[in-house]
Amino acid sequence: MLTLAVIKGVLAGVVHEPVSLVNAPIIARERGLAISEMRSSVSTDYVNLVSVRAETDDGPVSVSGTLVGKRERERIVEVNGYDIEMEPSPYMLFFFYEDRPGVIGAVGTALGNHDINIATMDVGRRTRGGTALMGLVLDSPVPPEVIAEIERVIGAEAVRFIQLPG
């Protein structure tokens, strides 16, 4: 059921026909998507972890999520191999950039100058001074010109704005 829900979610925003749990695998197959499901009873970090990996025109992408706490709150815990922890939200913004002082402040200032509030933020990095990933949960959408401004100011390697149904 979880695999079907992921396939439906991936396809719903990119196809013109209605996607259901019943027709999602058929639509995926028609579009040449290969679906594989792996299960393991051995995990050192999470009781349950769902990971989705895809090949895109911009290269491979991956995201992993889990449920945490007594209330089983949803959390994104990995994006493209970077550990982060953030609650999925209708408006999320991700930056890959060179880890250095001042970047978080520059992003906050740029968004604040355009009246865009940051609800939560997390940064993941593999090494000090290497590439870092900043994930932001926002209260409102970010116009493309604001994203381009931030990308330029911080010298971002890649930027992704994600808008989920809310």
Closest CA to 8 of 24, 27, 28: 24
Is the distance from CB of 131 to CB of 99 less than 8 angstroms?
A: yes
How large is the angle between the packed helices 103-113 and 144-154, nearest 10 degrees? 150
Taking only the tens of pLDDT, the chain with its 166 residues reads 778 888 888 888 788 899 998 999 999 889 888 887 777 677 677 778 888 888 888 888 899 888 888 888 899 999 999 999 999 999 999 999 999 999 999 999 999 999 999 999 999 999 999 999 999 999 999 999 999 999 999 999 999 999 987 6
Q: What is the dihedral of CA 132, 96, 121, 43, to 10 degrees?
A: -60
**Residue 145: its H or E element:** helix 144-154
Task: Output the CATH code of domain 38-163.
Answer: 3.30.70.260
Predicted TM-score (pTM) of the model is 0.82
> Which residues lie below 8 Å from residue 67, measured CB to CB, with a gap of 6+?
48, 73, 74, 75
